[in-house]
Amino acid sequence: MSTPHEIPSYLTPRDIGPWGVYLEQIDRVTPYLGSLARWVETLKRPKRILIVDVPIERDDGSIAHFEGYRVQHNTSRGPGKGGVRFHQDVTLSEVMALSAWMTVKNAAVNVPYGGAKGGIRVDPKTLSQGELQRMTRRYTSEINIIIGPNKDIPAPDVNTNEKVMAWMMDTYSMNMGSTVSGVVTGKPISLGGSLGRQEATGRGVYVVGCEAAAKRGLEIKGARVAIQGFGNVGGVAARLFAEAGAKVVAVQDHVTTVMRDSGIDIPALQKHVAEHGSVDGFKGAELVRDRNSFWEVDCDILIPAALEQQISEVNANKIRASIILEGANGPTTPAADDILNEKGVLVVPDVIANAGGVTVSYFEWVQDFSSFFWTEDEINQRLTRIMREAFSAVWQLAQEKEVSLRTAAFIVACTRVLQAREMRGLYP
């Protein structure tokens, strides 16, 4: 990190982690913000942080406690919006950074939200369905005081899905005394969910991937694609690229890596993962135990679609792809950004590349308010249009200012957020 950052009293230097990455990104955009730079400190301080204890009774009668968070980074442009993550490595620094990236993402694609994120430090694989439900409901009750359809709207993220959203919606509604479907997005269709929401993030990655490939003169048909993460983002992106004739040559998940030079049969891999919970043991590809070799694979498009800080100064130099599509949030460190820019790799940043999810969340929220539901075609068309427009605006600005797509996306987004901040003025 180039400049030392002020560490909030509730974080230690040791756990600054992803929040430090985000602060560095803000430092890099500040020189481009003109007179709005006066307000930039706003972006370096989350508006509101809630840390909650989530106790549950385990199936064996014992009591377990989990640490939960909800961070509302910014609400200048609208209510907080962002997912809830269940993962054993969740920290406050991580949730702060993820909430801030939501602020930037929502502004970059111009949906009328601020940014928020939540999480519980838990490995959900160690919980029974009953325990998972009790934990989700207790967490929802604990953060009940700050969420709501006009305040802050959670959604799925790593290890959470439509079932978890149904429990959250039900718990909030029970506490309120009436059904409030707009309090979360990513719900089952039967509860006011939106068609196309589940695959929206992966679809968005694919749409901007096609735009980026066109800029680089790369044909999708026959292009070699490597994907880290085979969940709701990586899995869908893999399928769409494969359907368009690309060869998915490597897939890495939390357990292992599979590779096949002539292209992996994605529907077959999806079936295997649905049955076994991982790509491990898949017969249709070579199993590669050394996790690091994934980054060196011969490919045109690399899609990190798992967790933060995967591409750092350690592996950035080994990457052979000419395009990186950030399906994950925060997968590339600033040091790695410098190396990749130097090498001429086109990095489509998370705040554009994975914004398809929250875009269709926005459609879901609008449909819930009006109780009028759209067809899947309408949704995918609108999604595609928003993603293309956002990509093209950021591309143009990057050319004009001679900056990376990340810096350009941050210029667009931070300008929108800080303009709103300035127009609203400080209270009192």
136 binds ligand GLU (CB under 6 A): no
**C-alpha separations of 133 from 125, 198, 226, 231, 274 in Å:** 13, 20, 35, 21, 21
Task: Give residue for tokens 């801030």.
Answer: 100
165 belongs to the binding site for ligand GLU (CB under 6 A): no
- Shortest separation between residue 328's beta carbon and ligand GLU, angstroms: 9
CB 416 within 8 A of CB 110: yes
Q: Does 196 participate in binding ligand GLU (rule CB under 6 A)?
A: no
| Residues of this chain, 63-82, that bind ligand GLU according to CB under 6 A | 81-82
Choose which of 33, 52, 155, 250 interacts with ligand GLU (CB under 6 A). 155
Task: Tell me if 358 contacts ligand GLU by CB under 6 A.
Answer: yes
Sign of CA dihedral 196, 199, 201, 202: negative
Under the binding rule (CB under 6 A), the answer on residue 83 touching ligand GLU is yes
Q: In a 3-state reduction of DSSP, which class is residue 309?
A: coil
Question: Contact between 157 and ligand GLU (CB under 6 A)?
Answer: yes
Judged by CB under 6 A, the chain residues 171 through 190 that form the site for ligand GLU are 185
Identity of the residue numbered 241: F
Sequence-separated (6 or more) residues with CB below 8 Å from residue 141:
171, 175
DSSP letter (8 states) at residue 11? S
Amino acid letter at 16? I
Which of 25, 72, 361, 407 forms a contact with ligand GLU (CB under 6 A)? Answer: 361
Of all residues in the shown chain, the one whose CB is closest to ligand GLU is 83
Residue 130: enclosing H or E segment and its boundaries?
Answer: helix 129-143
What number of chain residues touch ligand GLU (CB under 6 A)? 11
User: Per CB under 6 A, does 367 bind ligand GLU?
Assistant: no
The two tokens of residue 202 are 């992966």
Contacting ligand GLU (CB under 6 A), which of 99, 194, 256, 354?
354
Mark whether 117 is an active-site residue: yes
Catalytic residue among 81, 105, 117, 187: 117
357 is a site residue for ligand GLU (CB under 6 A): yes
Find the DSSP H helices in 344-401: 350-353, 356-370, 376-401
Q: Among 4-12, 219-227, 353-361, 420-428, which window interacts with ligand GLU (CB under 6 A)?
A: 353-361
Task: Tell me the CA distances in angstroms from 172 to 67, 85, 189, one per residue in order.
Answer: 19, 18, 18
**DSSP single-letter state for residue 40:** G
Q: Binding residue for ligand GLU (CB under 6 A) from 103, 329, 380, 407?
A: 329
Residue 305 contacts ligand GLU per CB under 6 A: no
Residues taking part in catalysis:
117
Residues making contact with ligand GLU (CB under 6 A): 81-83, 155, 157, 185, 329, 354, 357-358, 361
